[in-house]
Structure 1
Amino acid sequence: MTGRRPPAWRVALSLFTAIPAGVDGELDDETAARSIMWLPWVGLLVGGIGACVLLGTGLGGESSAKRLLEAALAVAAIAAATGGLHLDGLADTADGLGSRRPAADALAIMRRSDIGPMGVAALVLTLLVQVTALAAVPRAPLAAAALVLAEVTGRVSVVAATSSPAARPGGFGALVAGRTTGADRAFTAGVLVVTVAAACVTAGGPALAARGLAATVAGLAAGRLLQRIAERRLGGMTGDVFGAILQVSATTVLVVAALAD
């Protein structure tokens, strides 16, 4: 960027949501590295949007169809707030990894503008699981909290995945991959775990804390697993892979939250 750099939080809003943030110009390495550390806060924001939809529409009613509709509206609100950015990354990553081709060919597939059958399947199944898992959490406050936790954990998984190198030059992945420190990543994950434990103990005691921590750890582990697969198959991270890690991690949190109830 030329001239004075905008605040990192505004850059993060501009990059990772559809919310106007008044940021123009090219993104340099330093600005991108600073903005990635704001990702969990972006997750708190968009998760809060989804939670407001849940609470506003009254999740927890007796009708299963109504609960599914309310959950779908919340998931749709988050997709709208992020411009579908991470869902697109999920679809492209599924196409690339699902092709079972060498890294160069898989990366070329991921750069195409169209979505193949693996990408469509990944999108449909992921959204289906997210909606049904969210609807399966019976109490509205817990469902709202699970959604916020899923969005934040997904983005902490992305911060953790910046430990990997970039799979190719150029693109957003090359700007942030390998550019955070181990201390930054450990601090981000540690704050998440401590915050979840404290909030759950305050709200519902040790039993709720155990459930919240189980969902958090499972989400981080799922993100780490996809990170390792991308390292082995593609040689590192791309912007699409970061989006896929976010979605896989967030979905895992919702599934564990639903099953643990």
Structure 2
Amino acid sequence: MLRDVLTAFRLLTVIPVGRTEGIGASRYFPLVGYFFAGVSLVLAWGAGEAGLSDGLGALLTATVIVSASALLSGLLHWDGLADCADGLGVRGGAERALAAMKASGIGAFGVVAVVLVALLQVTAIAVIVESGSLWALAAAPVLGRLGASFALGLRAPARPDGLGARYAGRVSAAALVLLVVQALPLVAWTGRPEPLLTLGTFGGVLVAFFAPEPFVRRFGGVTGDVLGASILLTETAVLLVGALVGGPL
């Protein structure tokens, strides 16, 4: 288990945690999400202490939070989002889409996708920070990485090589339960039963489950880029709901 957890951290962050190689790393991706959640919450708390939790201050705080998350992940998730957008935009079959994704440059679809998702995340986080209801800020990284776990554990790889082929594989029912269990602490955010938190958590689990599907259908399977895109799209959906709903979220 420790080998798998360390491998998960090495795959999803820039933190050097040794060279051990675990074959079940995807089962612990949500745990890595709690690390990103902690960073975001600390930054939000520090911004509040510095008086940067409303107006332009909240916008600056949100920009810092998104930037910190991107840098700690080595920008890999954003690169994956751009590549997947380019793959979706190119005409032709799955092979042509995969070729476009492997190209070193970034196309118009990729640029637009990155800009739009970044704007949505920054704006949503600014609203969340100003409201003081930070649940979505903590939940988004966890549920986002749950989406990557679902992608690897429930879909076949699109290529015979690469990260998707290396770690993808059908997981057991017990492993699926373990994945969902890792999201349960989000239900206990306020320390007391909150129907809205329960609904928000399991709604986020459903978003994480379906987020990889459009890419898998288009590309014929999962790739490392699909993982990054699934993480960011799930995060964005959770953040938007948190910004719009407010309250205990």
Give structure 1 stretches of 5+ with no counterpart.
none
Give structure 2 stretches of 5+ with no counterpart.
none
Q: Indicate the residue corresponding to 1:163 in structure 2.
A: 154
Q: How does 1:1-261 map to 2 (within 5 A)?
A: 7-23=3-19, 31=22, 33-58=23-48, 63-137=54-128, 138-140=130-132, 142-143=133-134, 145-161=135-151, 162-192=153-183, 194-200=184-190, 202=191, 205-206=193-194, 209-210=195-196, 212-261=197-246
- Report the secondary structure of 1:52's partner residue: helix
**2:52/2:61 contact within 8 Å kept:** no
Per-residue Cα deviation, 1:155-196 (whole angstroms, up to 9, x for no partner) = 11111222010111100001122242232123311441x322
What's the Cα RMSD here? 2.2
**1:218/1:252 contact within 8 Å kept:** no
- Equivalent pairs counted in the alignment come to 243
CA shift for structure 1 position 47: 1.8
Amino acid of the structure 2 residue aligned with 1:21: V
Amino acid of the structure 2 residue aligned with 1:178: G
Identity between Structure 1 and Structure 2 (%): 36
CA shift for structure 1 position 63: 4.2
TM-score norm. by structure 1 comes to: 0.85
Taking structure 1 as reference, are residues 96 and 255 closer, same or farther at Cα in structure 2, changes over 3 Å only? same
Taking structure 1 as reference, are residues 45 and 114 closer, same or farther at Cα in structure 2, changes over 3 Å only? same
Amino acid of the structure 2 residue aligned with 1:8: D
Taking structure 1 as reference, are residues 77 and 69 closer, same or farther at Cα in structure 2, changes over 3 Å only? same
TM-score norm. by structure 2 comes to: 0.89
Amino acid of the structure 1 residue aligned with 2:8: A
- Report the secondary structure of 1:165's partner residue: coil
CA shift for structure 1 position 147: 1.6
CA shift for structure 1 position 6: 7.6
Q: Runs of 4 or more off by more than 4 Å in structure 1?
A: 59-63
